Structure 1
């Protein structure tokens, strides 16, 4: 009997999990030159609001629905939910005090790890029927990691590009461009082996794992276009953020709605009702807007469209000691999101999503 392959349904998964990875890099090839100009090193103001603020920062706060806003989860993880934010702030302040460069570099690599692990998580959700062959398991697992890691390695051997993961110079570049052809060849070998294993799996089971294949190929397409084929901050942000943030927003909403019961708190019942998704998103957007207000008003002073109206009321911070405490505090929700993600998507959550 063919198992249920999609997390919810083909229409839902294609719309919310696959399309956000596959469509943005496809759109890139049809964008006007003003958007794809290789010399453009900064994201456009309006696109920053739509992409970074509304998706990238907002999706971070959806973690609260599975933790702080969920009594059953809060009871289990109470110590972590109180201790992790404080420890993250203290550790961040100590590292920033030693070196701001080290602080941003560690944060960038932690973020990369988080992005890669999310794709692996979706890959596991689409791997409901485990192959009995160990070598096939290894190929399947390696493939989803390879299609994300290899483009990032190519970025490292090329050196500084017109885009960054966090801030300028946050990666430790290798600057060995002669290695790029070998990495491209490795990508082709991995993809060929992966497709071969999927074909062998189809021969054994009688069906093709379409969602897993689409996820792997769209992930590969997304990372390769945004990092290797183009060299533009707008394109990198568009492809990277949409492909990561929208699936996460949708997965949290769907997983919590599936677990909704009579004992669920009133807030979750409201935000998970038919039209509650509007409030579901409005709450996390409000958190995101407040956080970015603090960033821009007191640190960056870069986004005048959404925050410029506050510049005359508050002064930009210029005391290095205060900044060394303030920046780790502002980055804390993001890091907490990365850490808690390792606890809220345990196997029990995979089992819930697979039934």
Structure 2
């Protein structure tokens, strides 16, 4: 049985499956202070947050608004979602800034978790369901949920998703122990099932197991093992953003031995990859520049020109401005629940 690659062993291996392990290698090579503190070098912030984390959000454009055929097919969805996201954002921010960021953080977490499940489904798309196959689904979910539970039950961490205080946290050591016990038991059950299956069938789904291993590595190391902002960001952003961009560029799984369909829209042509990467990086820079000039005022050395913009401090104006600046993210989170769905 051939391995169920999305594109090829080389493409998937380098851009979808390797990033969590490469990120862990980089974290282990960092000076100890960056693995256990809130320090974040400016260049690392630009590379990770702007050029990967924010940039990958704009990859959605190439599966929606920038694709003429998909734009026609999903016309209603593509205007309803941003309008609904903005209206919901304004309503939430009117209840308080922290309310807005808390809801957005939990929506982002859900999106990150579902991406891993989506890749699991892609790598298991040719498998016949049998007794015990539910363990893979349970493990991919708990590999992401357990570190989040640990985070919620810890007194404090040196990192956040968006802003301080976004997650509800209590210090409950007993709860952490119970969650950890379930985590270890589920890993053991899955490993045992895979071993027995391999002995019986001599079939080993390499990409699915590498995906599960990478998910376990990146989420556990980034949140539980290390307690540093740079370590968390490296593992979180690289493991999520690069595979997403790779999936967008590929356009989805390739049928076995079938030629890839021609690209359409803004990324077609000889220089399509450069257009794609340049566009998402440019959009990310412009978005972060607007955030910095109008709201945060934290990275003036990177966004010098944007410092000429007036800083907005009025709560009445922020109710309308913050959801607007966050609209690319919220739209990305919601649209992704639709654009990757395939017939069963």
What is the TM-score normalised by the length of structure 2?
0.94
Pairing partner for 1:196 from 186, 192, 202: 192
Equivalent in the alignment of 1:11 = 10
**What CA distance in whole angstroms lies between the structure 1 residues aligned with 2:18 and 2:301?**
30
1:119 aligns with 2:120: no
**What CA distance in whole angstroms lies between the structure 2 residues aligned with 1:236 and 1:56?**
13
Query: Closer, same or farther in 2 for the Cα pair 1:324/1:217, shift >3 Å?
Result: same
Contact 1:3 1:129 in 2 (8 A): no
Shift of 1:218: 1.2
Pairing partner for 2:60 from 59, 63, 82: 63
Shift of 1:30: 2.1
Equivalent in the alignment of 1:21 = 20
- Computed over aligned residues only, the root mean square deviation of the Cα atoms, in angstroms, reads 1.8
**What CA distance in whole angstroms lies between the structure 2 residues aligned with 1:210 and 1:328?**
41
Unaligned runs of 5+ residues in structure 1 are none
**What CA distance in whole angstroms lies between the structure 1 residues aligned with 2:312 and 2:129?**
59
Query: Closer, same or farther in 2 for the Cα pair 1:204/1:131, shift >3 Å?
Result: farther
More displaced stretch, 24-33 vs 73-82: 24-33
**What CA distance in whole angstroms lies between the structure 1 residues aligned with 2:314 and 2:210?**
50
**What CA distance in whole angstroms lies between the structure 1 residues aligned with 2:64 and 2:57?**
12
Cα deviation 1:280-317 (Å, max 9, x = unaligned): 11011111111111100000000122113432x22211
What is the TM-score normalised by the length of structure 1?
0.91
Contact 1:160 1:169 in 2 (8 A): no
Shift of 1:73: 1.1
| Superposition map of 1:162-241 within 5 A | 162-241=158-237
* SS of residue matched to 1:174: coil
| Superposition map of 1:49-198 within 5 A | 49-134=46-131, 136-198=132-194
Equivalent in the alignment of 1:315 = 310
Equivalent in the alignment of 1:325 = 320
**What CA distance in whole angstroms lies between the structure 1 residues aligned with 2:328 and 2:3?**
35
**What CA distance in whole angstroms lies between the structure 2 residues aligned with 1:206 and 1:225?**
31
**What CA distance in whole angstroms lies between the structure 2 residues aligned with 1:111 and 1:294?**
21
Contact 1:297 1:307 in 2 (8 A): yes
Pairing partner for 1:344 from 330, 339, 343: 339
Shift of 1:159: 3.0
* SS of residue matched to 2:47: helix
Cα deviation 1:313-342 (Å, max 9, x = unaligned): 222112111111000001111011011101
**What CA distance in whole angstroms lies between the structure 1 residues aligned with 2:301 and 2:124?**
44
**What CA distance in whole angstroms lies between the structure 2 residues aligned with 1:152 and 1:131?**
31
Contact 2:267 2:275 in 1 (8 A): no
Shift of 1:260: 3.6
**What CA distance in whole angstroms lies between the structure 1 residues aligned with 2:39 and 2:93?**
25
How many pairs align?
Answer: 339
Cα deviation 1:92-112 (Å, max 9, x = unaligned): 011100121111111111100
1:300 aligns with 2:284: no
Equivalent in the alignment of 1:261 = 262
* SS of residue matched to 2:29: coil
Contact 1:154 1:228 in 2 (8 A): yes
Shift of 1:174: 3.2
